[in-house]
Structure 1
Amino acid sequence: MNDHYYSNKPKSASNRQSFAASLRGFTFRLTSDAGVFSRDGVDFGSRVLIDLMEIKPDDHVLDVGCGYGPMGLTAARLAPQGHVTMIDINERAVELAKHNAAENRIENASFLPSDLFDAVKDRTFDVILSNPPIRAGKAVVHKLLTDAYDHLRPGGSLWIVIQNKQGAPTARAKLEEVFGDDNVVEIGKDKGFRVYRSTR
């Protein structure tokens, strides 16, 4: 457990690999590595969220736990007049996301190593996206859900994907506690993964 994707400096030896991924009608060439989440391809949960997330052309988006970038880079394509900030505690993941943006000629994105929201303390966004780091534990996931509220502009939305067996019901209860029952909506579900939108 001391060397998994929720580590700032993974100890596993680098072993990069590249693959093509089609996301929301865009084709990406992505490079992943050992010590990052879902290194062998875009995971199913992220794909479910990518398919359902609503991004306006001029939105300012924050991708929390960006990994090597599939969600944030797709958001950048959907918001050509906006900007996507991509953060992750895992420095190897942040470097990969930066590499993948350059590889796919995406210029409206920036990248920061960050433990949850530490690197964007005073900033707010129209949209926050996250496939929460379940392996980091419930306390970390619930802190992400709670702190997201203060980083949203009025009317802004947090979009998360979480598996039923990995705590979707308790995550929804936490979201309703933070955002209010009427402001949390299940947008869709697929194979046990649920996508929630919580609006400030």
Structure 2
Amino acid sequence: MSHYYDERPDVKSDITHFTYTYKHYSLKLATDSGVFSKGKIDFGSDLLVRTFLKDHTPGPTKRIVDVGCGYGPIGLMFAQVAPHDLVTLVDVNQRALELTKKNAQANQLDNVTIHYSDGLADIADESQDYVVTNPPIRAGKSVVHRILEDAFRTLVTDGALFVVIQKKQGMASAKKKMEAVFGNVEVLDKSKGYYILKSSKG
């Protein structure tokens, strides 16, 4: 059985397109079978986008990594809204990465880097201002918690981790882990069982 967190999903390709909108910004996105939330952006990812961008004002260039990017709606919207920032999108799913590359090209986004990484394994220490993730819950607790742990390593001092997670799919456990790793955690928003958690470094 194929899963969205598999490196090479074996389900038959069936590409569909839709437009994702945030305020007056819009992205034309291609999705496919074998990737997370085919056909429309999932509620949690959209909540993460809106919560993060609400307080993200233009300023000095920030480096942002979207972990488990899927076909790219979170990271690509960040890149669209803040073209002065540098956004890295990573995933283990090769089909998702190819879609993300095509979606970046289709929306003429040149401030993005897209590549394979198992979580944050290929992201350098202290190289990112923000880590954002809608983590692959179905890949298991150990995978999710490794992303939370590695986020601390990859963030600069004063950097921050943003996570969206459902209460019924391990929110309490993730919150506890973030508190243990960073020494702090706060709930930025919650809606329909989804929580946006933030931990700051430094």
Q: TM-score band, normalised by the shorter chain?
A: over 0.9
52-61 vs 128-137, which deviates more? 52-61
Matched, 1:192 2:193: yes
Give the equivalent residue in structure 2 for 1:70: 73
| Closer/same/farther in 2, CA of residues 122 and 146 from structure 1, 3 Å limit | closer
If the length of structure 2 is used for normalisation, what is the TM-score? 0.94
Q: Which runs of 4+ in 1 moved over 6 A?
A: none
What is the number of equivalent residue pairs in this alignment? 197
Residues of 1 paired with 2:187 and 2:176: CA distance?
Answer: 12
If the length of structure 1 is used for normalisation, what is the TM-score? 0.95
User: Contact 2:97 / 2:115 at 8 angstroms: preserved in 1?
Assistant: yes
Gaps of 5+ in 2: none
User: Contact 2:25 / 2:81 at 8 angstroms: preserved in 1?
Assistant: no
Q: CA RMSD in A?
A: 1.2
One-letter amino acid of the counterpart of residue 156, structure 1 = G
| Closer/same/farther in 2, CA of residues 101 and 152 from structure 1, 3 Å limit | same
Residues of 2 paired with 1:139 and 1:154: CA distance?
Answer: 25
Identity %: 42
Matched, 1:47 2:46: yes
How far residue 25 of structure 1 moved from its aligned partner, in angstroms, is 3.2
How far residue 21 of structure 1 moved from its aligned partner, in angstroms, is 1.3
Deviations 1:50-76 (A, max 9, x none): 110043532110000000011001111
* Of 132, 135, 143, the match for 2:135: 132
Residues of 1 paired with 2:116 and 2:24: CA distance?
Answer: 29
One-letter amino acid of the counterpart of residue 196, structure 1 = L
Gaps of 5+ in 1: none
Deviations 1:69-104 (A, max 9, x none): 110011112321121000000011011111101111
User: Contact 1:24 / 1:50 at 8 angstroms: preserved in 2?
Assistant: no
